[in-house]
Amino acid sequence: MNTKVTIAGVTFKNPVTTASGTFGSGMEYSEFVDLNRLGAVTTKGVSSVPWTGNPVPRIAETYGGMLNAIGLQNPGVEMFVERDLAFLKQYDTKVIVNVCGKSVKEYVEVVERLSEEAVDLLELNISCPNVKEGCIAFGQDPKMIAMIMDEIKRHSKQPVIVKLSPNVTDITEMAKAAEAGGADALSLINTLTGMKIDINRRAFALANKTGGMSGPAVKPIAVRMVYQVANAVKLPLIGMGGIQNAEDALEFIMAGASVVAVGTANFVNPYATIEVIEGIESYMKKNQISDINDLIGCVK
């Protein structure tokens, strides 16, 4: 039985990774799961300098989901390389580093700093809804996506994944712009911008007023978008959005994703990633599927 998948020339032992921001750099979850078993670990967003993030409260639960507005708090690329990458190097898994910035220059600084490090793929975060400058501002305009991709490709040594925002009228337009700009793969979806009001305090539940919605409630939207994008571009896709178990993951794969990412489910169940991997394997056994690649995009 083959569970190996290859995207942008990088082969994963299985199609399961983590969604950026839900798994730190793996350290906390390594107490629960053997990171060696994951296809890849996708890290929390890293910027050129440390970011403090947003004021609290940063999260709120919603029906079948949650809102977050962490604001990409991170220790900056230097500490990330020294501590987090050094930690991940001990494991036999691929490393995808999520890169964020408030300007093109800042993205380039991170990409250049990582160019000689043990990083398999870069994931360009141009879709975080919780940081006002950069990020989503880039991800909602196809011209900006093409421009930033062009600039990044000039400096990057590793293949580049562009993470797409669902907060657009037509996600295929953004996917095509990323492809035209030289992206090697796409990941989708980032969170959907949402809001919750605390009626007892008569105030916003989040200090940031709005936050990114994730969790099982968003899954049908994410599956639909993966399907649309798979039919619009030739690039390999990393699908995510509300994956809680293998059945959810297989929907994304059949819609056209080569790799799937487990996100919010990690908060609900720290063993979720492993359970998804094992569940995919048992589905393959039960249905006599010898190669996972036969399932990718099999529903037309």
Partner 1 sequence: MAEIKKTKAVITENVKLCDGIYSIWLKEESIAKASKPGQFLSIYCKEGSRLLPRPISICEINEEKTMLRIVFRIAGAGTNELAEAKKMDEIEIMGPLGNGFFLENTSNSILIGGGIGIPPMLELAKNLPGKKQIVLGYRSETFLVDEFKSYGEVIIATEDGSVGTKGNVIDAMREHGIVDGMIFACGPTPMLRGVKNYASEHNLIAQLSMEERMACGIGACLACVCKSKDKDHHSNVNNKRVCKEGPVFYADEIEI
Contact residues for partner 1 (CB under 8 A)? Answer: 21-24, 28-29, 31-32, 44, 50-53, 56-61, 63-66, 68, 70, 73, 75-76, 79, 215-216, 264, 266-271
- Asked, as a colleague might, if the bond just before 189 is cis with ω within 30 of 0, I would say yes
58 vs 94 by CB, closer to partner 1: 58
41 vs 296 by CB, closer to partner 1: 41
61 vs 133 by CB, closer to partner 1: 61
Q: What is the 3-state secondary structure (H, E, C) of 211-274?
A: EEEECHHHHHHHHHHHHHHHCCCCCCEEEECCCCCHHHHHHHHHHCCCEEEECCHHHHCCCHHH
The two tokens of residue 300 are 């037309």
70 vs 229 by CB, closer to partner 1: 70
For residue 280, give Cα distances in angstroms to 7, 33, 83, 127, 174.
19, 17, 32, 29, 30
Q: Minimum distance from CB of 257 to partner 1 (Å)? A: 22
Q: What's the CA dihedral at 117, 123, 124, 128 to 10 degrees?
A: -120
258 vs 264 by CB, closer to partner 1: 264
Q: Minimum distance from CB of 70 to partner 1 (Å)? A: 5
Q: Which single residue is written with the structure tokens 């996506």?
A: 145
Angle among Cα 36, 42, 44 to the nearest 5 degrees reads: 125
Q: Minimum distance from CB of 205 to partner 1 (Å)? A: 9
Catalytic-role residue among 100, 128, 135, 298: 128
Cβ–Cβ under 8 Å, residues 297 and 255: yes
Q: How far is CA 1 from the centre of its chain?
A: 27
Handedness of CA 84, 90, 93, 94 (dihedral sign): positive
128 carries an active-site annotation: yes
Q: Known catalytic residues?
A: 128
